Structure 1
Amino acid sequence: MISTTSRLLLVLSLLQTGRDWPGQLLADRLEVSQRTVRRDVDRLREMGYRVRATKGPGAGYRLEAGSELPPLLFDDEQAVALAVGLQSAIVAGAGMGEAAVRALATVRQVMPSRLRHRLDALRFTAVPERSTGVAAGTAATPAAGRSAGGGGGRETVSPDVLVALSLAIRAREVLRFDYAEASGSLYEPGSESASGSASGSASASGSGSEPGSASVPEPSEQPVPRGPRRVEPHHLVTSRARWYLVAWDLEKADWRIFRVDRFEPRSAPGPRFSRRELPGGASVQAFVAARFAGSEQGGGWPCVATVILNLPAREVLPFAEGEAVEDLGPHRCSLVAGSWSWVALAASLGRFDTDIEVVGPPELAAAFGVLAARYAATAAAATTERSRSVPAVIAP
């Protein structure tokens, strides 16, 4: 016989499924009488849960929305999924960072240690959709309202898979998995050679189309299985409402971006490997943004660099103008930005009015030196001009 508290939690868990539960069915599931069920329902109502009793054919109990949010009950998978969603909102700078941080801290505090360790293992980077230069529903995205698996809506990814990928990335262990691609669709953005041409790039003819929105073949309804694949996992990325794995494909000897919802891990991780640098030493944000935009140079800019700003990501995002931002803590973030020249890029970064650390390439640091000398000369000339305009004062 379970305790009254445990039984109440079980009743609440059943009612949260959103269906009507006949009293007799609840009694059978709980192995108690219908009278006990009625008392348990009354206790839940006293705690603030609005439980409605329906009458007639199919009568039963249903949990309704209330005027206040009562305590909720989640199973292990739901709790991890909730925490992953909150962490995604924080990393992506979705305009509710502080609320998401508080909510994540609340969820994490009450998590059992087995779940908290899984959550702590999750590491990923958010690349805002605007930084990819691709409109939603274009390249690498199935047609709206239809999943590539034949059903409607977006494909889902198990939190367990995300955690497993994060662990493999951190341990630098080779992954083996089966991968399904949709024929004619760019489900591996930038699957061409890193030194080859990008098939999804936009025309520069000034036609007025969105960057990266060049026409692509319509994806097939059923994914085409391929596998097994062997890769060195590099980074887990969330972008455009999907999860991606940036990895070095051992068979193709090239970088690939895999949609996580399209592969199934085959076995335990393989041997360890030495971490490679992305092409040109680019950051993962710049690499993903360039691949989605169909360009090897950061969405078409001839000069692209990564810097660290002494500002929180939430303060930089509103002024990033489509550039990739990564949260590095409460007071620091990285920014991947591009421009038509190194000096123009250095000058544009001054709009953030904070200390700047150049991650690379060195051309940007040199451009800051050019600007520093130019601005110092301007300031010195202005000071000299002011001193000449001040009339001399002759002592009596």
Structure 2
Amino acid sequence: MLETSARLLRLLSLLQAHREWSGPDLADRLGVTARTVRRDVDRLRELGYPVHSTPGTAGGYRLGSGAQLPPLLLDDEEAVAVAVGLRTAAAGVDGIEETSVRALAKLEQVLPDRLRRRVSALNAFTVPMVSAQRGPTVDAAVLTELAAACRDSERLRFSYRDHNGDATRRTVEPHRLVCARRRWYLVAWDTDREDWRTFRADRITPTPPHGPRFAPRRPPAEDLAAYVSRGVSTTAYAEQATVLLRVPLEVAAEKVPPAVGTLEAVDGGSCLLRTGAHTLDVMVVHVVLLGFDFEVREPPELVERMREVRDRLSRALPPSAER
């Protein structure tokens, strides 16, 4: 009986994690026969779970929308992690803070005393620091729609506003969402441009219907976070530069977030900064105000602009200051 119950929970977990499964795939995952899978599916239906099936060689099983949420099984560490995540949720997501508080209240009601005390202590002795520059936010419904399209490998149609506010219509094969501090980005294959693109989620307005489904492509990089960081901090700008910062990478990272530039450790306790800007003058100010000793590696035009700025600053100083 315990073995059957555990298998039912495992089957339910598989159905929740994937849009559709074939009978043989489920049998292989569960280590049982296809006949046992059919019996287990019937038991889930008897318990009120809407498991839909499609006959034939191309058929399979999928979990439909139900009137009730299925039971959620969490171990101690998972329960604490969910509670902490709800308390600190949702940087850059519009209107989700209140929803998170309601969900946290429900979770705390069912937490055992030992876990409730841990979560309460963390909440009581933590003071959130709210940034004065909140920046743009993305609607939670848009995020879930994008995530669902990624999960289901379903073509996505949307209107997209660029940094000038101009709108274009896009059809893409979505791959992943990437979160960088308060910004959310969608990495997708643009079917019209036949190339990978990165889209700011707060500039996306979905325009259903979506589909059809597609075969996932090989992603543009193994490290999608680094890929997006390069795109939004460097390659998106007219001027790009590589600068050697004479500080360790972990020190530079305190002043250079992923949306500003990418960092690479090099020998001698230094690191390479790759970044971009709309103009060389902006680049000069950006690099100088980091406050680190540095050496411009490329482009040569930035070296020349640095010399011009140095000479201009030197001429601006009164004679008494040139000591």
**Same fold (TM > 0.5):** no
Q: TM-score range by the shorter chain?
A: 0.3 to 0.5
Give the structure with higher Rg (CA). 1
- Which is strand-richer, 1 or 2? 2
- Which is helix-richer, 1 or 2? 2
Q: Which has the higher contact order (CA 8 A, sep 6+)?
A: 1
Q: TM-score, normalised by structure 2?
A: 0.39
